[in-house]
Structure 1
């Protein structure tokens, strides 16, 4: 028990309401660092090998939160949902167990700018997405709200996931409050979210301007909404790099499809589909 306690990170008070994780030498050392990054670099390429690497790191360092975070990704890539969920939950619980009694979530912060806070903030994010994937939206909302309490600047973009969950629950009142709080946010979720709530609330006087903003943000979403069959587009490729997946560019067809996939429950609403069919 003493050995485990010695390997456990501490969360200490720095100044005013700012707190931060401090990792012990058993985690914060060159050997563990190199082994951990070997696993990170192999993610998406050889996830079975990655699984073994992170399990080895965890065996040496049972409080290595980021090893659990990335083991979760390796499990998800291998389509092992049971293992991925348990791993995400374990990472989160380890982080929570490090918070001392003096830490008050209602007023104390764990800022993203402190690099050592990121493993725990990532674990909150990952577990929230696990709940969201399982359609356990209330639990996901609780995790996303917890992150925003720790780090209100939201470097992880959880406010967008929070909005997706509110839409899935048809909690339009709370969704509207979130949109108003971030009235200048240009993320696709918020730009189209403002339009969709206006459609549902039948606020006809605002539709034209909000539609113009939404189409300016991504012109492919209206067409995606009105499709009878939704097929994932091919990955975006950089010219000259035919085998490199370049992610999801802003304003792209890929982004429009992802937006539809993440908001099916709202985008299949009869009022929403009727509106977008009317503007074809």
Structure 2
């Protein structure tokens, strides 16, 4: 490819299709990373017994912005379908429009493709090297993908397009940075005066291309009517299979074993294996949610866990046994799912929905072995639902814990008009329940990112957990932190 000076966006696009040499699909449908590079390329892909991850990339040579599709060697995307997807304008896209030139690797530049592109007014150029073709972006994508997989628990290849691509774009395109480092902004700023070339509709594009007799490079079709789809788990379909109790118990035993395993990847594998045995295994969904650091993924798995739990127990069982849950062993997976779901919704800012679930948990188990009343109290204070707080305190307000003592003190400060004899007395009682709390509420000590797994009454771990729940409510209450600081000093 002769060198040319790049002056504007969509002057030259680079088409890349690459087989991963490190990521492949296991028999259970999950991706696995192999550190030693696999000896695989398009030339020998048909001979491979593995299902490999495949990247389709269209990159703007000037700005570096790109469009990405991720699939596998058993669900390849026809080249024309990918180009149509890449050139169309749509939500979540950071490049669109026909280019003046398209760089195509020599192995893909068949005559039928070149003639069709020429009819669209797109000049085909052949890169002189992998560097000129923009192959460095493949390494960057795979490195970022492996990092994200370390935070996820759903390693199915079809999920990467829905859950990972936005995060890949954010990081690799620098979308949260200024124009100097933001490749998309650079692309927008370099659009020529005549604007972006319009893209014909798909039918018009396809008419310009003749079908090849053989796949390109032995595996890639230029265009085909054959649709290749990923396997969809039973719990992602419109209807769930019939419940089988024996299979459910087998799956549940497998998840119980998983919790005793130190290796995270093995724990995740056990959870997926359990769902293959029975999609009603609530604790398998709970485990996958617990293992994920991505909030949207957590919410998705807890949602499935709650759905599975309701299907197993049934509405009649839930209504009949409401008030005695948790003491009935078979209800505990469902209760864990509800709690995890509520916590995740709260973290995502969907606090009203979270409050509804915390109330439901207390209805099912008023004895509250899970400590749901503490989180609910913090939520009610945070959104100012004082009447509901009154109901909660009427039920649990006599409890001698720092969680109730401090939240009840803050609520009293609010509803009685600030510092007065009653609120001052309650604050002294709260300080007596745990003297470590003020330092975390006042910001004198930082709340650790990773919360303690256990605590004792009056100790620092209890203070950390309380402050992580309720600090926002204290900060939102005018004068409350100043009042707390003054009373702590006077009582010292």
TM class by shorter chain equals: 0.7 to 0.9
Provide the C-alpha distance between the structure 1 equivalents of 2:322 and 2:451, rounded to a whole number of angstroms. Answer: 41
Contact 2:397 2:408 in 1 (8 A): no
Work out whether residues 72 and 85 of structure 1, in 8 Å CA contact, stay in contact via their aligned partners in 2: yes
Give the C-alpha shift of residue 258 in structure 1. Answer: 2.4
Structure-1 residue corresponding to 2:256:
37
Which runs of structure 2 are paired with 1:174-213 in the superposition (5 Å)?
174-200=388-414, 201=416, 202=418, 204-213=420-429
What is aligned with 2:311?
97
Segments of structure 2 that go 5 or more residues without pairing to the other structure are: 1-233
Per the alignment, residue 241 of structure 2 pairs with 4
2:249 matches 1:28: yes
Q: 1:110 to 1:207 in 2, by over 3 A?
A: closer
Which residue in the other structure is 1:116 paired with? 330
Moved over 3 A (4+): 98-110, 233-236
Q: Structure 2 vs 1, CA of residues 134 and 185 (structure 1 numbering), >3 Å: closer, same or farther?
A: same
Larger Rg belongs to:
2
Cα–Cα, structure 1 residues 234 and 149, in superposed 2: closer, same or farther, change >3 Å? Answer: closer
Aligned position for 2:359: 145
Instruction: Please tell me whether the aligned partners of residues 48 and 74 of structure 1 are also in contact (alpha carbons under 8 angstroms).
Output: no
Alignment match, 2:149:
none
1:50 shift after superposition: 1.3
Are 2:455 and 1:262 aligned? no
**Between Structure 1 and Structure 2, how many residues are aligned?**
248
Task: Indicate the SS of the match to 1:263.
Answer: helix
Cα distance in structure 2, aligned partners of 1:233 and 1:128? 20
Structure 1 residues 215, 119: CA separation in 2 closer, same or farther (over 3 Å shift)? same
Q: Is the 8 A contact 1:108 1:150 kept in 2?
A: yes
CA distance in 1, matches of 2:372, 2:259: 22
The answer for the alignment partner of 2:460 in structure 1 is: 253
Distance 1:117 1:106, change over 3 A: closer
Between the aligned partners of 2:305 and 2:413, the Cα distance in structure 1 is 40
Superposition RMSD on alpha carbons, in Å?
2.7
Gaps spanning 5+ residues in structure 1: where?
8-23, 237-245
For residue 161 of structure 1, give the secondary structure of its aligned residue in structure 2. helix
The answer to whether structure 1 residue 59 and structure 2 residue 273 are counterparts is no
Distance 1:264 1:3, change over 3 A: closer
Task: Tell me what 2:431 maps to.
Answer: 215
Matched, 1:277 2:491: no
Q: Which deviations, in whole Å up to 9, do the C-alpha atoms of 1:192-228 show, x marking residues without a partner?
A: 1111122223261213431222112101112332335
In structure 1, the residue matched to 2:3 is none
CA–CA separation in structure 1 for the residues paired with 2:362 and 2:384: 21
Distance 1:235 1:117 in 2: 26
Normalising to structure 1: TM-score of the pair? 0.78
Structure with greater helix percent: 1
| Alpha carbons 2:289, 2:297 under 8 Å: kept | yes
Shift of 1:104: 6.7
Does structure 2 retain, via aligned residues, the 8 Å contact 1:65–1:91?
yes
Deviation at 1:232, TM superposition (A): 2.7
Distance 1:46 1:208, change over 3 A: same
8 Å CA contact 2:440, 2:447 repeated in 1: no
- Post-superposition Cα deviations, 1:148-174, rounded to whole Å, max 9, x if no partner, equal 222222221111111111112121232
Give the TM-score, by structure 2 length: 0.46
Residue of structure 1 in register with 2:215 after alignment: none
Q: Counterpart in 1 of 2:346?
A: 132
Q: Take 2:364 and 2:305, find their aligned partners in 1: how far apart are those partners?
A: 17
Q: 1:190 to 1:39 in 2, by over 3 A?
A: same
User: What residue is the counterpart of 2:287 in the other structure?
Assistant: 70
For 2:450 and 2:240, locate their aligned partners in 1 and report how far apart those are by CA, in whole Å: 50
Q: Deviations over 1:74-99 (max 9, x none)?
A: 12xxx222222111000001122235
Per the TM alignment, residue 109 of structure 1 is displaced from its structure 2 partner at its CA by 4.7
8 A contact 2:407–2:470 mirrored in 1: no
Q: Per-residue CA shift, 1:37-67, capped at 9, x if unaligned? A: 221113xx43232111101111111111111
Contact 1:54 1:68 in 2 (8 A): yes
